[in-house]
Amino acid sequence: MTTPVLRAEFAEAFPDLCLEWRAADFPDASVLQLNEPLASELGLDPQWLRTDAGVDFLCGRASGCYTQPVAQGYSGHQFGQFNPQLGDGRALLLGELATPHGLVDLHLKGSGPTPFSRGADGFGARAPMLREYLVSEAMHALGIPTTRVLAVIDTGRAVLRSGPEPGALIVRVASSHIRVGTFQLAAVLGATDVAAELVEYCLERHYPERSGGGPLALLESVMEAQLNTVAEWLGVGFIHGVMNTDNTTISGETIDYGPCAFLDAHRQQACFSSIDTTGRYRYGHQPAILGWNMARFGETLLPLIDADPQAAIADAQHILGAQAERYDSIATTMWAQKLGVSGRENTEEAVSLALDYLHTHEVDHTIFFSSLEKQAQRYYAADNAHPFWRTWRDSDPDAARANPVVIPRNHEVERALTAANNDQWDYWDALLAAVRHPFDASYAYPELLLPAPAEWTENFTTYCGT
Ligand code: AMP
Ligand code: MG
């Protein structure tokens, strides 16, 4: 195939927000995993990507393929604390690829230190990189907006974590890597003109129907996209784990699969990340945190909204103030579809009873939705059944949207990663195939359809893997 040539739109338009940089050299790099369906979608030939030239391209070292790779700068609120100086500490934007479906970023994660590394090594270990591949594929198959992984590269260079581990990098594909933190950096720099340009760039790239609409149009569009994404997270029982403003994209795509996890038993307070000691990013708190992050986004836009600060705040507040109600409406629609109770007189009551049932009984989230009918048979007969079952009784299963039978259950992910770290790929292959078909039990192996053993979930902890 003809060698792909990436654009440098972001690098050329926003030199104040990035630094020209190169990936580290990995002379022994090889392809560990190639996402062939994604490669084809992007118009890249999977066969070619496996050749030496293809591997060079994926590692950021091919000549003539990139216009100007950059490490992107950003600021961000991490667990509520503002850090003005973050940025791609182990990542590199190779550039943008024009695909049959529009422009996407090709980006490396784990490609070596950059000026933003703050003393860390800039590399990645195999297990967390595979984890990002697996979970983002699952999210994509579940219909949730997400960045994706085109390839996991074995860098041939061990990294030191708690001990030596095989090194890897991923080639990440995203609608863009522009985040709330990118706007926060422009604000820190006091670069109002840059921020204004960034607003227009983001509208054109992500919300072209509102192109030219200015900061309020962008605020509203990002809010709407993110509210939908986060509602979908709750629907499938996803806990992102590190919803810092630098991990909140302008596109609305889910990004950064460090400490994420899935619910087994439905628990509002579920929180698995080792660094989230206060439970800030627990399952049920994610919509509220999104609201907080959107407020931080709105703040960065104030100088662009109106020269009069009070007027600017009032305009931003007008949009942000509608957020909670908008979320409730999106989420109610989503739960109602999952339950098959849309468009009824008592839809809201049925949704609220179902959520109450889930919270009270802490049943397995995935199995509850995928086997409603089967369970209902059992409960109709019971006198002391939770009132949800009576409400649900006359629901219309045909009106329900399909509920997944397979999610990447935490214990199965860990088992597959442990095996893959030891070059055993059977579990990995089986799990990846299953999560790519979440609505079809025939792709799943039996254990994947069962809840995790309780003692396993109670002690489960996720790590950023950095
Ligand atoms: P994350 O938790 O992936 O959102 O990362 C937060 C910040 O830490 C970002 O600026 C990352 O680039 C940086 N970072 C994370 N891991 C590493 C690493 N191994 N080397 C250098 N920087 C890192
Ligand atoms: Mg991040």
User: Which atom of ligand 1 is nearest to 124's Cα?
Assistant: 19
Q: Is 256 in the pocket of ligand 1 (CB under 6 A)?
A: yes
Q: Are 225 and 213 in contact (CB under 8 A)?
A: no
Quick one: DSSP state of residue 354?
H
- Centre a 10 Å sphere on the Cβ of residue 21 and count the other Cβ atoms it contains: 22
HSE toward the beta carbon, residue 454, CA cutoff 13 A: 4
Task: Work out whether strand 76-78 and strand 30-34 pair parallel, antiparallel, or are unpaired.
Answer: unpaired
Q: In degrees, to the nearest 5, what angle opens at C-alpha 368 toward C-alphas 362 and 374?
A: 130
Q: Per DSSP, which regions of 74-176 are E strands?
A: 76-78, 81-83, 91-99, 102-109, 148-154, 159-160, 164-165, 168-174
Q: Is 259 in the pocket of ligand 1 (CB under 6 A)?
A: no
Q: How long is the chain?
A: 466
Domain ranges of the chain: 9-174, 178-409+451-466, 410-450
Q: Is 86 in the pocket of ligand 1 (CB under 6 A)?
A: yes
- CA–centroid distance, 22 to ligand 2, in Å, is 19
Proximal ligand: closest to the CA of 161: 1
Q: Whose CA is nearest to atom 12 of ligand 1?
A: 89
Task: Work out whether strand 148-154 and strand 102-109 pair parallel, antiparallel, or are unpaired.
Answer: unpaired
Helices 126-141 and 410-421 pack at an angle, to 10 degrees, of: 140
Q: Outline where 156-240 has alpha helix (H).
A: 180-188, 192-206, 214-236
Proximal ligand: closest to the CA of 86: 1
Q: Whose CA is nearest to atom 8 of ligand 1?
A: 89
- Centre a 10 Å sphere on the Cβ of residue 94 and count the other Cβ atoms it contains: 26
Q: Which residues contact 459 (CB under 8 A, 6 or more apart)?
A: none
- CA–centroid distance, 461 to ligand 2, in Å, is 19
Q: Are 151 and 58 in contact (CB under 8 A)?
A: yes
> Smallest Cα–Cα separation from 250: which of 287, 284, 285, 300?
300
Proximal ligand: closest to the CA of 115: 1
Q: Is 77 in the pocket of ligand 1 (CB under 6 A)?
A: no
Q: What's the confidence (pLDDT) of residue 397?
A: 67
CA distance 98 to 137: 21
Strand, coil or helix: 165: strand
CA distance 274 to 415: 19
Q: What's the confidence (pLDDT) of residue 392?
A: 84
Q: Are 316 and 270 in contact (CB under 8 A)?
A: no
Q: Is 87 in the pocket of ligand 1 (CB under 6 A)?
A: yes
Strand, coil or helix: 232: helix
Strand, coil or helix: 199: helix
Helices 192-206 and 214-236 pack at an angle, to 10 degrees, of: 60
Q: Whose CA is nearest to atom 14 of ligand 1?
A: 89
pTM > 0.95: yes
Q: Is 226 in the pocket of ligand 1 (CB under 6 A)?
A: no
Q: Is 466 in the pocket of ligand 1 (CB under 6 A)?
A: yes
- CA–centroid distance, 67 to ligand 1, in Å, is 25
Helix or strand holding residue 430 (H, E): helix 426-435
Q: What's the confidence (pLDDT) of residue 377?
A: 78
Q: Is 247 in the pocket of ligand 1 (CB under 6 A)?
A: yes
Tokens of 455: 């003692």
Q: What's the confidence (pLDDT) of residue 399?
A: 66
Q: What's the confidence (pLDDT) of residue 263?
A: 96
- CA–centroid distance, 465 to ligand 1, in Å, is 9
**Does the annotation count 45 as an active-site position?**
no
Catalytic residue among 88, 154, 246, 364: 246
- Centre a 10 Å sphere on the Cβ of residue 212 and count the other Cβ atoms it contains: 9
Proximal ligand: closest to the CA of 73: 1
| In the block, residue with structure tokens 């007027």 | 311
Q: Outline where 50-191 has alpha helix (H).
A: 52-58, 126-141, 180-188
Q: What's the confidence (pLDDT) of residue 225?
A: 98
Q: What's the confidence (pLDDT) of residue 28?
A: 97
CA distance 389 to 375: 9
- CA–centroid distance, 124 to ligand 1, in Å, is 10
The strand pairing partners of 261, in sequence order, are: 239
Q: What's the confidence (pLDDT) of residue 380?
A: 72
Average pLDDT by stretches of 10, the chain with 466 residues: 91 98 97 98 97 97 95 98 98 97 96 97 98 98 98 97 96 98 98 98 98 98 98 98 98 97 96 94 98 98 98 98 98 95 92 95 94 82 82 74 94 97 97 98 96 82 80
- CA–centroid distance, 291 to ligand 2, in Å, is 19
